[in-house]
Amino acid sequence: MEHNGGSIIGDVLARHGVRHLFTLCGGHISPILVGAKERGIHIVDVRDEKNAVFAADAVARMTGNVGVAAVTAGPGVTNTLTALKNAQMAQSPVLLFGGAAATVLKGRGSLQDIDQLSMLRSITKWATTVKTVKSLGPTVEKAIEIARSGVPGPVFIEVPVDVLYHEELVKEWYLTESGVKNADTLAAKALETYLKAHLYRQFHAPHIDLDLPRPDFKLPGRATPEEQVAKAAELLRNAERPALVIGSQTLVNTPDAHAVADAVRTLGVPTWLGGMARGLLGQHSDIQFRHKRTKALKSADVVIVCGFPFDFRMGYGRSIGSKATVIAANLSADELKMNRRPELPIQMHPGDFLRQLAEAVGPIGPREDWFAALREREDARDAEIAEQAAEPVSEGLVNPVDFFLKLEEKLADDAVLVVDGGDFVATCSYIVRPRAPLSWLDPGVFGTLGVGGGFAAGAAVVRPGSEVWIIYGDGSSAYSLAEFDTYVRHGLAPIAVIGTDAAWAQIARDQGDILGDDVGTVLRRTDYQTVAEGYGGKGILVTKADEIEGALDEAKRLAAAGTPVCINVHIGKSDFRKGSMSM
């Protein structure tokens, strides 16, 4: 095929090590798909545009490289807005290509022609359009650089259809559609001349780089990172009750997460992991704690917060005792000063900070009394959870706590956990331990429902042969269950577990208690396993506790053989997370 705009884009992506592109097809973007495929990039077509972006987001998180998606113009682009905002708030480097009407037809009522840039600018680091073929390559290069630099985030490139197809075909379209081919009137010849001149500029005008984003803001008047790391090392050496909180940003753009994990182990500080950092220290670690974080932070004397803003998850900064010395490392100047100003703010990649801190301070010693107090609380909570797992639940159905304790025993060492839901997913987070770094995918601070299908597609292509589990609430599952069709067509085999309690439980529990009405929160015990089978997967129904282990074993066997599986677990009502509705 003749070299065209799609080929140019494919060349740049391949040169940057992009291995996967997610899409839902459209005539506006077909050359991108073909051009990328010709360069060995795996094209994964999904059933909803937002899932293409969610999948690209997952790839970005798990590889440290940019994740790439392409969607058609108009509704194709608008369908991605939630997923792009989720990537922005999760600080995930995603590159989205959006189709657009031909350059000469913009604003003239062409099919799916809308002002896409005005919508995309507020939720991306950079949103731009390409008007000439020679600008395609430099624009994609610049977009990848912007997505990954500073605080990572999504970027958007609008690509009009007439800069993607090869020149002779576009010329034929222009002249035929305008009615000036073989022009025989003065007006028609004038229009023909204008169109040919426009085409010449479009295909042959040199690239001029003018549309540049504002550079990342830097905190003025701060000490150098080396000086700040030395100060942090001094504070940590003198601490009697240190604590370390690690969030998702610590692992962005980090292809070697094990180096970060080694640094944390060297420090030997009591550690709590959140978001994408879950699994950083493996399934078991003597320094990792999962429960009673707020109580520990209230009594700690030095708290190090890495890649975790002082937002609602940290009590807006109030979870940490007022007398504690707070050290915070973050790429974002805004997050460093949000709600609570740390005594030592360090604007740098938090993973790099941890590695440098470990080199500067070395092991800080056992602090046996501090660890003993924390371990006692941890063990007590684990014992409490085990007791709750044995409690009967409504209608004699499955206790979700019991289910997750059994799942914890069955997970493979290479398992990746994709979580998409409210109450059922949060219960999982208390019990199931990710086995390795970059093996836990949650939406992030935006709290988006619907990430499951796309995230799982991204995880499955990045880790072929590994177990990929989707933990769904029954409410959230409906957003992306259709991606079972994608899994079957592309030879992917995740295992979806749907906790079916016939309600939006996280909302229903508190809404009923506070307002006395369950309006809008009631669902059906739908046969989700049958829906998955309709898309070509395998469905398993679990309604009793004694069916759990057999269902998990069968699902693992089927997935290992290449069949995606949906386990529909009918769970009873539980008060495990009573009072957990977030504000």
Tokens, residue 342: 């740390």
What the block records as the tokens of 60 is: 């970005």
Measured CA to CA, the distance from residue 465 to residue 477 in angstroms comes to 24
Q: Residues 76, 156: one domain?
A: yes
Q: How many CB atoms lie within 10 A of CB 562?
A: 11
On whether both 356 and 405 belong to a single domain, the answer is no
Task: State how beta strands 242-246 and 271-273 pair.
Answer: parallel
Q: Check whether residue 236 and residue 366 sit in a common domain.
A: yes
Is residue 583 in a domain? no
How many CB atoms are located within 10 Å of the residue 407 CB?
A: 22
Within 10 A of 197 (CB to CB), how many other CB atoms are there? 10
Q: Are 258 and 181 contained in the same domain?
A: no
Q: Please report, for the domain that includes residue 186, its CATH number.
A: 3.40.50.970
Q: Is 212 part of a structural domain of the chain? A: no
Residue 495 inside a domain? The answer is yes
For 261-313, give the secondary structure using H, E and C. HHHHHHHCCCEEECHHHCCCCCCCCCCECCCCHHHHHHHCCEEEEECCCCCHH
Judge whether 389 and 405 are in contact, CB under 8 Å: yes
| pLDDT recorded at residue 1 | 46
Rounded-to-10 torsion of CA 559, 459, 312, 380: 40
Report the alpha-carbon distance of residue 38 to residue 553 in Å, rounded: 39
pLDDT in tens, 329-354: 999 999 998 988 999 999 999 999 99
| Domain-located, residue 219 | no
> What pLDDT is stored for residue 162 in this prediction?
85
Under the banding of pLDDT at 50, 70 and 90, the label for residue 220 is very low
At 129-142, the pLDDT tens digits run 998 889 999 999 99
Mean pLDDT of 473-485: 96
- Does a structural domain hold residue 349? yes
Instruction: Please tell me the total count of domains within the chain.
Output: 3
- If asked whether residues 401 and 318 sit together in one domain, one would say no
Same domain, 167 and 235: no
Considering the domain architecture, whether residues 177 and 47 belong to the same structural domain is answered as: yes
Distance CA 305, CA 291 (A): 17
* Degrees to nearest 5, angle at CA 91 with 85 and 93: 90
Residue 119: count other Cβ atoms within 10 Å of its Cβ: 16
Residue 217 has pLDDT above 50, yes or no: no
Q: 453 or 508: which carries more pLDDT confidence?
A: 453
Tabulate helix, strand, coil % of the chain (nearest 5): 45, 15, 40
Q: What's the mean per-residue pLDDT of the chain?
A: 89
For position 312, what pLDDT does the model report? 84
Q: Residue 383 domain-assigned?
A: no
Going by C-alpha positions, the residue among 460, 420, 461, 417 that lies closest to residue 440 is 417
What is the pLDDT averaged over residues 245-259?
Answer: 90
Domain around 307 = 225-371
Q: Let me know whether 61 and 200 are in one domain.
A: yes
Short-list 457, 364, 452, CA closest to 69? 457
CATH number at residue 293: 3.40.50.1220
In contact, 398 and 542? CB cutoff 8 Å: yes
What is the mean predicted confidence (pLDDT) over 407-433? 94
Determine how many CB atoms are found less than 10 A away from the CB of residue 193.
12
Q: Give the whole-angstrom CA distance, residue 41 versus residue 59.
A: 13
Scan for tokens 């031909």, then name that residue: 102
Residues 482, 71 contacting (CB under 8 angstroms): no
216-236: average pLDDT: 76
Taking phi first (over 0 means left), then psi (-120 to 50 degrees means alpha), and beta for anything else, what does residue 473 get? beta
Assess if residue 470 is contained within a domain.
Answer: yes
Q: Fill in the DSSP letter of residue 133.
A: G
105: confidence class by pLDDT, cuts 50, 70, 90: low
Structural element, H or E, at residue 324: none
Mean pLDDT over 379-396 rounds to 90
Token pair 């070395």 is found at 362
399 HSE (CA, 13 A, CB side): 17
pLDDT at position 103 is 66
Q: Average pLDDT, stretch 13-22?
A: 97
Question: 381, 416, 415, 418: which is closest to 401 by C-alpha?
Answer: 381
Distance CA 215, CA 563 (A): 46
180 phi, psi to nearest 5 deg: -110, 5
Angle (nearest 5°) at CA 31 between 49 and 94:
45
Q: What is the pLDDT of residue 304?
A: 96
Which residues does residue 155 pair with via DSSP β-bridges, in sequence order? 95, 126
| Domain boundary residue, one of 152, 175, 204 | 204
- Determine the pLDDT at residue 218: 46
Residue 216 maps to a domain: no
* Helix (H) or strand (E) segment spanning residue 135: none
Beta bridge partners of 536: none
The full DSSP string for 488-557 is HHTT---EEEEEE-SB-HHHHHHHHHHHS--TT-B-----HHHHHHHTT-EEEEE-SGGGHHHHHHHHHH
Specify the long-range contacts of residues 119-124, CB closer than 8 Å, at least 24 apart. Answer: 119/77, 119/78, 119/81, 120/77, 120/81, 120/84, 120/156, 120/158, 123/81, 123/84, 123/85, 123/88, 123/154, 124/84, 124/88, 124/96, 124/153, 124/154, 124/155, 124/156
The answer to whether residues 40 and 106 belong to one domain is yes
513 plus 414 within the same structural domain: yes
Are 553 and 419 found together in one domain? yes
| Both tokens assigned to 497 | 């577990």
pLDDT, mean of residues 495-522: 89
Q: Which of 94-103, 179-188, 254-263, 327-336 has the lowest mean pLDDT?
A: 179-188
Q: Are residues 130 and 276 in the same domain?
A: no
